[in-house]
A and B are shown apart, each in its own frame.
Chain A
């Protein structure tokens, strides 16, 4: 068995999600190859070659793969996939965009967001916003899978010395083009990789009040997230949303501030090691999953917390 892991990369570096995906591949067992597709990604390929447990890095460096447009990258993966037993990608927006396209072209089902590997063909994945866990078995010749990164501890980014091999194939479907990006800039840790996450909900009242959370987060070295209610209300941008359809996080400590705890939000954070809830409504469902609950006005509790930590 040989497994192809589609690397996630940004700004010329391997994204942490790739390391969790390689960890899932290692659980499947067999040789692990990593595909780096993009433009000017030689440096990414060099880094990917150092990932622990990787046997080979395939690098497809071509203008057609810039911005990883699925119309162009999917045919590349399909062409390569024939030699592999599994194709894995992290369940990031990028992985979710490309991999189903690959699966359909290979005429196989895709298995989405696995959280455990039971065997080389059997996996567990959450359904119904994590209210049920399905065990699924695949009979596909090539198993096409996205990996929920919080389910697998990252492998070491250093220590390997894989061979790097160029892939000549250039696929340019010519039906889509990248226009532009508005990326959030933040000095705080990335939400899905942070050890501590402080999240705010509708109870924050407005976007300006999130400054209380930013101050607390900076003192803790934490990332800042939000519930869907806070994003829908326009308090903060979409990239901060934690939940069933936003980002899935599982930090050491999750501090939910002014968040009631809809099941769609719990789906995105209930695997956190320690959950703290601060809410003035003592009946809020968030308290049913919180290790430590504090019934209090957040505008008093958060500044006090910031002073004491």
Chain B
């Protein structure tokens, strides 16, 4: 089966972001950018499905700026066969991204689409579910295990109370949680090979997709800072403080 994987270029998870002085957003100048960690897990899962002989072709797609080609090349180095960049401005809302992905799904007709459950910049956790709505596909979100069983996909999901398993008709949408797999690193020969793999660029206009939004960001502020308290010298002192000062026990 053909597998489509969507990836997003985001601030590296190790970077502590700072809010811009004019409160228009966070400062992304000269900040290290990477593939969203949940998207790395999505790519890895597709590669494993290919290694098992379940997936025949992996197409990786990103909706974002020209520079997102870096993340697409990373995915190609990890084992994706070809890449598509839907070139668009930064800061798209999830619905706009889902609409662009829907257009790619219509064109590519994958049996399975794997996405990260959320991007660590906007923390929205929406795109996969929205793509499922727009395509009419079943969804297995927050997946910790994915198994193809005949014409069904069994997805084990991490839910608040524990784990839940659902059986989905194909084609289906899966969004990854942290424990689905541990992504590999790209080897140097594979990074070199990835440079020769096809990477196609399209515009939302060419796909006939509107990126209009019903939401606007008015301002972005730093959160209320929490100041460090005191160090206590002993457990006895800690208990005394919790009882008499904080009055929480």
Contact = CB atoms under 8 A, between A and B. Distances in A.
A299 interface: no
Contact of B235 (A237, A245, A304): A304
A109 B213 contact: yes
Contact of B94 (A109, A113, A131, A178): A109
Contact of A100 (B126, B138, B239, B242): B126
B231 to A, nearest CB: 5
A135 B219 contact: yes
Contacts of A175: 136-138, 168-169
A133 B220 contact: yes
Contact of A135 (B158, B169, B218, B238): B218
Given A178-B164, A182-B162, A294-B232, 6 more contacts: A69-B166, A101-B130, A136-B215, A175-B138, A247-B160, A288-B228
B142 A93 contact: yes
Given A70-B129, A104-B134, A112-B125, A294 B214 contact: no
B223 A133 contact: yes
Nearest to B241: A292
B246 interface: yes
8 closest Cβ pairs, A-B complex = A291-B229, A100-B129, A104-B130, A104-B133, A100-B126, A140-B214, A179-B165, A253-B248
Nearest to A308: B239
Nearest to B175: A97
A83 B218 CA distance: 27
A305 B235 contact: yes
A200 B1 CA distance: 42
Contacts of A99: 129
B161 to A, nearest CB: 4
B63 interface: no
Interface in A136-154: 136-140
Contacts, number: 257
Interface stretch (A42-50, A158-166, A270-278): A270-278
Nearest to A305: B235
B126 A112 contact: yes
B109 interface: no
A269 B67 CA distance: 34
6 contacts: A69-B166, A104-B129, A109-B213, A127-B123, A134-B217, A135-B217
A181 interface: yes
B141 interface: yes
Nearest to A177: B167
A113 B122 CA distance: 11
B217 A132 contact: no
B138 to A, nearest CB: 4
B148 interface: no
Contacts of B221: 132-133, 135
B161 A113 contact: no
B214 A138 contact: yes
A109 B215 CA distance: 7
Interface residues of B, number: 79
Interface stretch (B10-18, B79-87, B184-192, B195-203): B10-18
Which DSSP category, helix, strand, loop or mixed, fits chain A's interface? mixed
B125 A291 contact: no
A47 B195 CA distance: 60
Given A93-B160, A132-B17, A138-B214, A176 B129 contact: no
A94 interface: yes
Nearest to B182: A232
A137 B217 CA distance: 6
A156 B222 CA distance: 32
A31 B126 CA distance: 27
Contact of A245 (B117, B154, B163, B215): B117
Contact of B132 (A96, A101, A122, A276): A101
Contact of B98 (A104, A131, A183, A288): A104
A128 B97 CA distance: 19
A122 B218 contact: yes
Interface string A71-100: 100100000000000000000111011111
A176 B140 CA distance: 9
A244 B139 contact: no
Nearest to A128: B17
B71 interface: no
Nearest to B231: A293
A36 to B, nearest CB: 18
A139 B158 CA distance: 33
A283 B82 CA distance: 45
Contact of B130 (A10, A94, A103): A103
Contacts of A132: 17, 19, 26, 220-223
A74 B19 CA distance: 36
A295 interface: yes
A228 interface: yes
Interface string A24-52: 00000000000000000000000000000
Given A175-B138, A182-B162, A253-B246, A293 B220 contact: no
Contacts of A173: 136, 138
